[in-house]
Amino acid sequence: MAPGFPGMNAARPGGAAPSRPRIALVLPGGGARGAYQVGVLSAIADWVPPGRPLPFDILCGTSAGAINAAVLCARADDLRRAAADLDAVWGGFHSGQVFRTGAVDMLRSGLHLLFALVSGGWLLPMPSALLDNTPLRALLDRHIDFVRLRAALAAGHPDTLAVVATSLGGGDSVTFVESSRPFEPWARAGRRGVAVTLDLEHLLASAAIPLLFTPVGIPGGHFGDGAMRQTQPLAPAIHLGADRVLVIGVRPPLTARAAGHRPNMAEMFGFMLDTLFMEGVQSDLEWLARVNALLAQLPPGPPPQGLRHVDALLLLPRRDPGELALAHAGAMPATLRSLLRILGARGRRGGQLLSFLLFEAPFTRELIRLGREDANARRAELSAFLGLADAAGQETASDQEQRAEAEQRGEADDVGHRGQDHAAGQRRVDAQTLQHQRDQHAGD
């Protein structure tokens, strides 16, 4: 195993092969861009019958992705209802639900920062953040039922929820895990996983974008946005026993752009946030493909060092959210627009920064539509990967599990064998397929 990347394909907790693949959903962060994930999930929900539970065993989220994962978990018994709840919130967003945007609030924050800078901290202490995200706490408190969330975990659909935050004291990436399934906490260079009872503070910590939102105190220290130190975003899901990992990213594949001018402060701030949320997924997928290819070449028998094959599928926006945000800049509150103009966010020079902060319905609804379109364009691929029934009524992974249990009771005829041939014919995504997918996205 390559140095610096230990444990990525570690043996599953418990060591036993599963009766069906354990599927993980990984939702990286990205501020307002998290609406794209809602569109993808809404499309997937449309493909299944009403009342069908989530097709995921493990939910892993960072920043806005952690909030989306928690909402999904709290409504895990009904995927359509969960997606509808997310759509209702994201589709009706306005910035005032996330941070205070009133003229008095913005003026107070600006003057506080000014006096702190001028006095060197003597008149007023330096603020810990530019924006007051107290409204976000109230929003999450209304929409996330932690009693239902824990009941869903106890029922095993899903069995694990993981929220990633950054320890501002230790400087490492911390995955807070609540699970009804036994797992071994892990500690690697720069990252660790710990068992906790998740609450609102963990979600707020994971979404505390540096400089913009105040860090959150949790037993063990103060924590900020999970994207800051998350260099291996697939690692938590694999540590928790995933056999298949679906990643819904929020930034398009990197493309070369000519630098025709010196970037101003707004562009640098946008670049900083874009870098913060780069996710590192592509490098993880490349490493995963190499390990899978190595395992495929080994003779039959137990793999070395407890390695195992893990499939992964990545979905990225086919259009740049930064470009889409420009058309909706006018929806932002005047106070925030004024602040961004001071920073230099005028015209096309503010698109990237806008796309992270534009918590306004016209923009988030467009991202939801984009997510739906991208998911529907890859419906066959996603359905096969998740084991969902298609229009022909093929058997889902959940149906397979129920049939296996019925066979053990001698009642297999009651469940039927609609999807045996389909299930037997499903193939894992090998290294060449993953590389092809990456090249395809890069060319989109």
pLDDT score, position 13: 55
pLDDT of residue 344: 57
Residues with Cβ within 8 Å of 208's Cβ and at least 6 positions away in sequence, in order, are: 129, 133, 165, 214, 215, 216, 223, 224, 225
Dihedral class, residue 230 (left if φ above 0, else alpha if ψ from -120 to 50, else beta): beta
Position 253 scores a pLDDT of: 75
**Can you tell me which residue has the tokens 């193939």?**
427
pLDDT at 39: 98
pTM: 0.80
- For residue 175, CA distances in Å to 18, 56, 223 come to 24, 18, 11
The reported pLDDT for the residue numbered 443 is 42
Among candidates 48, 32, 3, 39, which has minimal Cα distance to 386?
48
Residue with tokens 């989306």: 68
> Which are the contacts of 232, defined by CB distance < 8 A and separation ≥ 6?
5, 8, 191, 280, 284
pLDDT score for 114:
60
Per-residue pLDDT, 435: 41
Per-block mean pLDDT, blocks of 10 residues, the chain (444 long): 39 56 95 97 96 97 97 96 96 91 66 61 66 93 96 96 96 97 94 97 95 91 91 93 96 64 67 68 86 88 80 95 89 76 60 85 97 98 88 44 52 38 38 41 42
DSSP string, 117-185: HHTTTSSSPPPS-SS--HHHHHHHHHH--HHHHHHHHHHTTTSEEEEEEEETTT-SEEEEEEESS----
**Is residue 196 within 8 Å of residue 176, measured between CB atoms?**
yes
Whole-number Å distance between alpha carbons of 377 and 372: 8
Closest-CA residue to 241 (of 34, 89, 16): 16
CB 336 within 8 A of CB 357: yes
